[in-house]
Amino acid sequence: MKSIKIIAVAVVATIVTGGMMLTGCNGSGSGTGAKSDSTENTILGAGATFPYPLYSKMFAEYNKANGLKVNYQSIGSGGGIQQLTSKTVDFGASDATLNGKQDSALSAPVVHIPATSGAVVITYNLPDFKDTLNFTPEIVARIFLGEIKKWNDPKIAAVNKGVKLPATDIQVAHRSDGSGTTNIFTTYLSKVSPEWESKVGKGSAVNWPVGLGGKGNEGVAGSVKQTPGGIGYVELAFASQNNMAYGKLQNKAGNFILPSIASVTAAANIEIPADGKVSLTNTDATDGYPISGLSWVLIYKEQKYNDRSLDKATKMLKLIQWMIHDGQQYSGALNYAPLSAKAVSVGDAILKTVTYDGKPILQ
């Protein structure tokens, strides 16, 4: 297996387009005095690490074309939701929709705009092992429950015929932070394994039966990289960019599917509800990858709060509108599936419901 080159992405690192480090947060001022041009021309966001490579590219390209600076903190979906709740950022980003507890903590309604879709892959570290492993839903669930402990377990061998598996101990790595990637992964496991659903369940953070926690995709990847026999879950773009080994997963139709743009696109080819909230896991598509998921941009439906201006709210909505249209051209090269036409249509409709002082911002 190729050596893994982990990109230097600190989970709490701030992504700053335009080469400018920003430490202030708009939206918490007193509303007195004139706002600086730099503050009005800077959008603050925080949240999911899942779409980080794509968002970083999008924000850099938008800055070149429009001059708007986007300061995005890749801190995990849970952190992004917390910062949006406290109104220290202009938008949050999450790979999971808000749950009841998170909704109740908000001071006003928030809308979910689908921004991209991708895959969560099963990555592993078996030194000198060249084959691509097959996994079934049962195998994945039992590994993360701590019930399958060796790489040469008969269940793994049964779906990898002719492959010489090592007798290495399996070492599980998982996210330690509140994570939309974890939500996608555990939602999938809850759908395919009654035992997982009853013992662990789904969520952005769960009580893991076994394993070592790492913060962000990079934390999980680092743990897997440093541990022979390691296994974990990270998003496809992160795994691909860092030459990490990842397996094929048997889907509902019984086919072993390699995560790819095509197999995520197939999983995402479903009806999208008007509120944009939908799960892509355990797809019915015969050629769809079963641990696929959407990632959303979260904003307040009413944008007149604290000392926000109409100009800044308009700039942010135009940015998001660009992301779900022209920004999708950057998806494929980074191993994200472009949004379906239906998802784009739903996103446009949601954006048109966003108001400033009760009046729609976009016509």
| pLDDT at 128 (0 to 100) | 85
Q: Distance between CA 23 and CA 208 in Å, rounded? A: 35
Per-residue model confidence as pLDDT tens digits over 67-88: 999 999 999 899 999 999 999 9
Q: For residues 352-362, give the mean pLDDT.
A: 97
Nearest to 44, CA basis, from 14, 8, 11, 76: 14
The CATH class given to the 14-118+293-360 domain equals alpha beta
Nearest to 154, CA basis, from 130, 173, 138: 138
CATH of 119-292, one of 3.30.390.10, 3.30.465.10, 3.40.50.150, 3.40.190.10: 3.40.190.10
Q: Please, what's the b/e burial string for 286-295 (b: 16 or more CB within 10 A of its CB; e: otherwise)?
A: ebbbbbbbbb
Name the average pLDDT for the chain: 89
Q: For residues 246-269, give the mean pLDDT.
A: 95
14-118+293-360 matches 119-292 in fold: yes
Task: Give the CA distances from residue 303 to residues 75, 134, 190, 299, in Å, rounded to whole numbers and listed in that order.
Answer: 23, 48, 36, 8
| pLDDT at 247 (0 to 100) | 97
With cut-offs at 50, 70 and 90, classify the pLDDT of residue 238.
confident
| pLDDT at 35 (0 to 100) | 55
More confident position, 268 or 241: 268
First to last CA, the chain: 52
| pLDDT at 4 (0 to 100) | 37
Placement of tokens 């730099």 in the chain: 38
Q: Which of 10-14, 51-55, 215-219, 234-238 is most confident?
A: 51-55
Q: Distance between CA 339 and CA 336 in Å, rounded? A: 9
Per-residue model confidence as pLDDT tens digits over 3-62: 433 333 333 333 333 333 333 333 333 333 445 566 889 999 999 988 999 999 999 999
**Per-domain residue ranges for the chain?**
14-118+293-360, 119-292
| pLDDT at 242 (0 to 100) | 82
Q: What percent of the chain has pLDDT over 90?
A: 79
| pLDDT at 192 (0 to 100) | 98
- Do residues 123 and 244 touch, judged by C-beta distance below 8 A? yes
Q: For residues 302-325, give the mean pLDDT.
A: 97
More confident position, 314 or 17: 314
Per-residue model confidence as pLDDT tens digits over 131-186: 899 999 999 999 999 999 999 999 999 999 999 999 999 999 999 988 889 999 99
With cut-offs at 50, 70 and 90, classify the pLDDT of residue 223.
very high
Q: Distance between CA 29 and CA 228 in Å, rounded? A: 50
Q: For residues 302-318, give the mean pLDDT.
A: 96
Q: For residues 288-300, give the mean pLDDT.
A: 96
